[in-house]
Every structure is written in C-alpha cells, then in structure tokens.
C-alpha cells in the first residue's frame, strides 16, 4: 500500500523535505526561485534577514559531518533562527537511547525544525512520521537513500550556468550504488525535464534496475561522456576502494577518474560538479577540480542560499497555518 507522499501536506504543499522523489517540478522550482532571492543576501555586508527570528532549528547529526552541518547552520543563522547543534553520534544514542526517544525529547524543547543526518536509509522518514505536526524535518542525508538539499543546490548551480534543463545531457559518474546524492540528483533532474541523464560506473557500483529511475547506463567514460553538458562527479568513500567493490584506487582513477583528457570528450563548455569533499587523484584530477570548467566552489556558495530557501519555505508554511 503506497500512501500519500509523506513530505506533502493535504494541500500538496511542502511539509518536510525528505527526498526529491515524488516532488512536483513546481515545488522544486519554487525552492530554486526562492534561493535566487537569497543569493543577494549572502553577498551583502550584513548577511542576515529576520525571516526565522524566534524559531529553533535543531541540527541532529547522527553521523559525523562538518561541511553539511556548517552550511545548514550558516543558512539558519542568516535567517535569524536559533541553531542548536547536536552531535548525537557521540551522545545519547551511544547511551542506548532510541532515535525516536531522542527526537521526542528535543521536540519537548520546542523545536520548530529538525535537520537530520543518519547512516540508515529511511531515518528522516521515520522521524517525520512521528514528530508533532507543527515540526518540519529536513533530510540532510539518510544512508544511501536521499540528500535532497545537495541535489537542489546542484540544480540551482546547473540552472545558473546552463539555464534550460530541457536541453541538457547530464552524466553522474562514480559510486551510484551507495550514493544518496546520486539518487536525489536523478529524481530532481528527471522531474525538471532533463531529457538525458546518464550514469557511468563499473557494475559493482550500480544498483540493480537503476535504469528504472529513468537513466541510461554506461560503463565506459569514452562513450558515456560524449556530448555531455554537465558532469556530476560523486565522492568515492575510501572504504569502498578495497575489497569486493573495487580492486584499487589506481585502477579506478585510470578508468573512471575525471582527467583533463577525459573531460575533452564532453561538450566543450560542459561544467564539472562535485558534492565534496573531493578525493583528488581518485575520482577527479586536480587540474579538472581547479580548472575553468569547474563550478565546485560556486556549488558551496549556492548551497547556503538553497538551504535558506528550504527552511524559509517550510517555516513560512507554518506561519500561514497558525494564522488559519
């Protein structure tokens, strides 16, 4: 039995942001458009707006992360919210408290929003299902399932550089199997009308029936990069580099690492993206990462604006609700 999309309310508006899957293009575009207005804010001297004044946002990181947590924290602070960072990987859970107990305790502290990262797929859905209806949940990465704000900032970046999604060929390259980023990117790209999304990886790093997500599968960079406008590299976790997934870092780099030579196979003005942190010399050559086609640093900047947009849309909705 498939229920209503759990991240939308009865009116079809965004209640939580858990995944890009199943979200209509109108909501994705609303987030991107709202983010445009925040890019200006982040470039000002006084980088604050009072939209979320008095709101409490809890960063619940059940899995270590510096970068994502920091960007959420900056985004919340620029919206004037109070931010509480909890590094739960080393606190309550290690004392045996369950995920929902932790969440219920924090809800009792009058939280307005949870930003959740967890090593298990589905953790954010679970929390969203059990929190009070006035609390919003943002998934900041759950297992191999979803990382919607990363995908949205990628979409924002693509739109900035390439304008029309409907004319693009996009390739996602690397460890698709374990990547929550790739899954969220695929759903966002196909929803926004990108006509051709390719995944390029050895068979050990591709999930079964991945083509059902609407992508074309390639195992060879030479064929896969032909006529590509956007290259989305994925981070290869170091623990995947040995053992049964891949024989060695060197062999991976030789066949799937993005070098200036391989980049020449793509469209001449293709852009190169990476969600970070990068493994230079493993999935990407420094000459590409720092080259003129790289938009990796702008991605980070836009990430703050996109997260501000998501938070303000979710919070704005509860303002509208309490006014009802």
Partner 1 sequence: MKIHIKNGRLIDPKNDVDAIQDIFIAKGKIAAIGSPPGEFEANRVIDAQSLIVCPGLVDLSVRLREPGFEYKATLESEMAAAVAGGITSIACPPDTDPPLDEPGLVEMLKHRAKSLNQAHVYPIGALTQGLQGERLTEMAELNDAGCVVFGQPDGLLPNLRVLMQAMRYASTFGFSVWLYPQELGLTGDGVAHDGEVATRLGLPTIPVCAETIAISNIILLAWETGVQVHLCRVSSAEGLAMIRSARQQGLPLTCDVSINHLHLSDMDIGFFDTNCHLMPPLRGFSDRDALRSGLLNGTIDAICSDHAPVDEDAKLLPFGQSDIGATGVELLLPLALKWGMEMRLPLNRVLAKITTDPARILKIDAGHLSVDSAADICIFDPDNYWKVTAAAIHSQGKNTPFIGMELPGSVQYTLVNGQVVYQR
d(CA 98, CA 83): 23
Pick one of 130, 160, 219, 267: the residue that binds partner 1 (CB under 8 A): 130
291: its two tokens:
């080259």
Locate tokens 């999604």: which residue? 165
Nearest to 81 by CA among 104, 48, 103: 48
**Is 131:115 a contact under the CB 8 Å cutoff?**
no
**Is 140:113 a contact under the CB 8 Å cutoff?**
no
Pick one of 8, 39, 74, 126: the residue that binds partner 1 (CB under 8 A): 126
**Is 131:124 a contact under the CB 8 Å cutoff?**
no
**117 lines the binding site for partner 1 (CB under 8 A):** no
Q: Identify residues 159-198 at the interface with partner 1 (CB under 8 A).
A: 180, 183
Pick one of 13, 49, 207, 318: the residue that binds partner 1 (CB under 8 A): 207
Which positions from 60 to 99 touch partner 1 by CB under 8 A, shown as an x/- string? Answer: --------------------------------------xx
d(CA 311, CA 322): 17
- Taking contact as CB under 8 A, which single stretch among the options 114-122, 189-197, 277-285, 294-302 is the one that binds partner 1? 114-122
Please report how close the Cβ of residue 294 comes to partner 1 at its closest, in angstroms. Answer: 27
**307 lines the binding site for partner 1 (CB under 8 A):** no
Pick one of 212, 239, 243, 268: the residue that binds partner 1 (CB under 8 A): 212
Nearest to 175 by CA among 298, 250, 78, 283: 283
Residue closer to partner 1 (CB basis): 2 or 323: 2
Backbone angles phi, psi at 120, to 5 degrees: -100, 130
Where along the sequence are the contacts to partner 1 (CB under 8 A)?
Answer: 1-3, 6, 21, 98-100, 118, 120-123, 125-126, 130, 142-146, 180, 183, 207-210, 212-213
């Amino acid at each position: 039995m498939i229920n209503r999309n759990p991240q939308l309310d009865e009116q079809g508006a965004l209640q939580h942001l858990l995944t890009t899957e199943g979200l209509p293009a109108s909501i994705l575009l609303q987030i991107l458009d709202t983010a445009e207005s925040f890019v200006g804010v982040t470039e000002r001297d006084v980088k604050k707006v009072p939209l979320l004044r008095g709101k409490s946002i809890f960063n619940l990181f059940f899995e270590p992360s510096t970068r994502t947590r920091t960007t959420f924290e900056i985004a919340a602070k620029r919206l004037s919210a109070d931010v509480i960072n909890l590094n739960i990987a080393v606190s309550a859970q290690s004392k045996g408290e369950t995920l929902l107990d932790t969440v219920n305790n924090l809800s009792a502290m009058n939280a307005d929003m949870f930003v959740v990262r967890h090593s298990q797929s589905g953790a954010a859905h679970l929390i969203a299902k059990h929190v009070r209806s006035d609390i919003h949940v943002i998934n900041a990465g759950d297992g191999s399932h979803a990382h919607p704000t990363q995908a949205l900032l990628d979409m924002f970046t693509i739109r900035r550089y390439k304008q029309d999604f409907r004319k693009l060929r996009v390739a996602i390259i690397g460890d698709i199997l374990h990547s929550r980023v790739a899954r969220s990117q695929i759903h966002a790209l196909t929803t926004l009308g990108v006509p051709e999304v390719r995944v390029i990886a050895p068979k050990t790093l591709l999930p079964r029936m991945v083509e059902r997500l609407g992508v074309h599968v390639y195992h060879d960079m030479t064929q896969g990069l032909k006529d590509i406008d956007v290259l989305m590299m994925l981070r290869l976790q170091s623990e995947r580099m040995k053992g049964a997934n891949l024989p060695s870092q060197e062999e991976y780099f030789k066949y799937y690492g993005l070098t200036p030579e391989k980049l020449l196979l793509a469209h001449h003005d293709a852009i190169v993206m990476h969600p970070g942190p990068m493994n230079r010399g493993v999935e990407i050559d420094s000459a590409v990462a720092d080259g003129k086609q790289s938009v990796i640093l702008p991605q980070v900047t836009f990430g703050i604006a996109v997260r501000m947009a998501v938070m303000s849309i979710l919070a704005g909705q509860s303002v509208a609700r309490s006014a009802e």
